[in-house]
Amino acid sequence: MTTLTREALYTLVWAEPVRKVAAKLGMSDVAFKKYCVRGGVPVPERGYWAKLAAGKRVTQIPLPHRDPGPLNRGRISPVRATQA
């Protein structure tokens, strides 16, 4: 289980594609994005990384302000695969 602040989560999400970050944390990209949405952390729009690689102009959405409290830190745990 990994504990991250909103700021750390934001830095991870905008450093490389969500799919790669999620894989490093041992979870699916969908589950990881849900953690981001729940924490109020914006994620890059579809095509962001392709546009960036092609040299096109992209916009990084700033991290919205949130008052200090328990929601500024969250635990992320890998999703275990279930057997059918």
Q: Which three-class secondary structure state does DSSP give residue 75?
A: strand
How would residue 81 be classed by pLDDT, with cut points 50, 70 and 90? very low
Percent of the chain with pLDDT over 70: 77
Is residue 51 predicted with pLDDT exceeding 60?
yes
- Look at residues 78, 63, 84, 83 and name the one whose alpha carbon lies nearest to residue 29: 78
**Which pLDDT tens digit goes with each residue over 28-49?**
999 999 989 888 899 999 999 9
Residue with tokens 């799919």: 19
Q: What is the DSSP letter of 76?
A: E
Q: Count the residues in the chain.
A: 84
**pLDDT exceeds cutoff 50 at 84:** no
**From CA 35, how far away is CA 55, in angstroms rounded?**
29
